[in-house]
Amino acid sequence: MNSEMSRLLDMTTTANSRIRPAAKFFFNGDKKFFVKGVTYGPFKPDAEGNHLGRPEQVDLDLALMRQAGLNLVRIYHAPPRWFLDRCATAGMRVLVTLPWEKHIEFLRERSTRKQIAENVRAAVKAHAGHPAIFGYLVGNEIPSTMARWLGARRVIEFVEELIRIGRGIDPDALFSYATYPPTEYLLPQNADFCCFNVYLHDQPDFERYLLRLQNLTGEHPLILGEFGMDTIRHSQEEQAEMLGWHIDSVVKCGLAGTTLFTWTDEWFTGGEEITDWAFGIVTRERKPKKAFHTIKEKLGRSDSALPHRPLPRAPFVSIIVCSYNGGDTLAACLDSLAKLNYPEYEVILVDDGSTDDTAYIAAQFPQVRYIHQSNNGLSHARNTGAAAAKGEVLAYTDSDCMADVDWLYYMIGTLVSGDYAGVGGPNITPPAKNWIQACVAAAPGGPSHVLLTDTIAEHIPGCNMAFYRWAFESLGGFDPEYHKAGDDVDFCLRRGAA
């Protein structure tokens, strides 16, 4: 079998499995799926009311999209079956925006609400289970004036009801709503991911806003639903440069993907052909603009993996895991740490006098340095790990944590990007299985609760933190008085006072 056939078969296999959210990212099976999307249409409708053009043109467009490294198309109308079938064959996912009249008082009349709900129900039912479906956006950019007039809470509750309707029909599809900066507060709590349309042409401002959105969206994956530049008012060189740094910034800020606006200059909306905007990365005649080649360079290396930017520096990292009778979750933790996408690191397991099967589990991971000590408490164990470490950076996590494959990439990328002594990140809890777990998950104390700005925190969590060795040693390590918790807060507060 030649390599091209293998690649095509891999595309088909990828398209035939559904994407799932896990913490702040998406996964296809056990592989991370980074959304590399582009909006498509709407085009002038045909006799059947189809806004997606001719099937022959769709095939040509999808093939060219694949060349550019794209893996998803966002469309603005419910699609015909043939469109989804062609996307599945091409290895492209489809994010369907379900349109409805949002410029009227849609919550005033019961008949209007009922009709919107019925439209969502019919659109999802028509293609439930189709392998090309990534998910649905049950609305797009409700005007801020309308949201204020109707009341944000009532609007969010209505959007959440539309999500419940759709999910009840196709539970394996993902559901969300596409909002934008004027209504950044419209965030349905039952969405599978968060989607923002953002047009900021200044990179520092753009990155600051993305970090704000990461805090607003909490534990949900965050993607951009639209981002682009008009090549009538700007040059093709400007568009190419901006989309290039846009992709870099999306990766740097930890998003789960982005959707470029738009594929082609051909565009029909509001009942007429649009000729005074040209946001496409290809022309109406499908001739690639300069931005097409930039996107291909950034995204074309792999089908769905994270398009990593090279780190300015990648110091050797010692990952220290401290455990006391944590055998139930230890194997999963160590297995995740063995798969990190980072050039050089070591893993040290400090067993704080466990009486369970911790030692046996550790023996199944010969690449992990295992240290056993008497039960002296968490802080003592963390100091023991630091004393044995070889790394310039000391990174800590707990035995009941499973690290994302890009954990160190993001952690160290932030640490070396500025004048930081230490960095930390979120601790995303799995779905609660009982009321105690639900209470713990809902309790304050997460990273977002102690933020002083969108990036600077009062302290960072012990299960997800890293320090330069010099910073650790300058404070004399963790205070052994803290046997079970609180040592991370104490350490950071001492650093702030130093």
pLDDT reading at 330 higher than 50: yes
Residue 304 covered by a domain: no
Residue 308 covered by a domain: no
Contact partners, residue 410, CB within 8 Å, separation at least 6: 254, 425
- Vertex 40: Cα angle to 121 and 167 (nearest 5): 25
Question: For residue 4, what are its two tokens?
Answer: 């091209």
* CATH code, 455: 3.90.550.10
Residue 309 covered by a domain: no
Print the domain residue range for 378: 317-497
Does one domain contain both 332 and 229? no
* Confidence label for 118 from pLDDT (cuts 50, 70 and 90): very high
* CATH code, 189: 3.20.20.80
Please write the tens of the pLDDT for every residue from 425-477. Answer: 777 666 656 666 566 566 555 555 555 555 565 556 657 889 899 988 887 77
Does one domain contain both 479 and 357? yes
Residue 292 covered by a domain: yes
Q: What DSSP string describes 94-125?
A: EEEE-----SS-TTT-HHHHHHHHHHHHHHHH
Number of domains, the chain: 2
Maximal C-alpha separation, the chain: 78
Which among 250, 271, 299 is the end of a domain? 299
Please write the tens of the pLDDT for every residue from 158-212. Answer: 999 999 999 999 999 999 999 999 999 999 999 999 999 999 999 999 999 999 9
Which among 299, 325, 349 is the end of a domain? 299
Does one domain contain both 128 and 11? yes
Does one domain contain both 181 and 138? yes
Residue 305 covered by a domain: no
Which among 299, 334, 350 is the end of a domain? 299
Residue 311 covered by a domain: no
Residue 310 covered by a domain: no
Does one domain contain both 286 and 390? no
Please write the tens of the pLDDT for every residue from 347-398. Answer: 999 999 999 999 999 999 999 999 999 998 888 888 999 999 999 999 999 9
Does one domain contain both 232 and 116? yes
Residue 441 in 3-state DSSP? helix
Does one domain contain both 474 and 391? yes
Question: For residue 252, what are its two tokens?
Answer: 């740097």
Residue 39 covered by a domain: yes
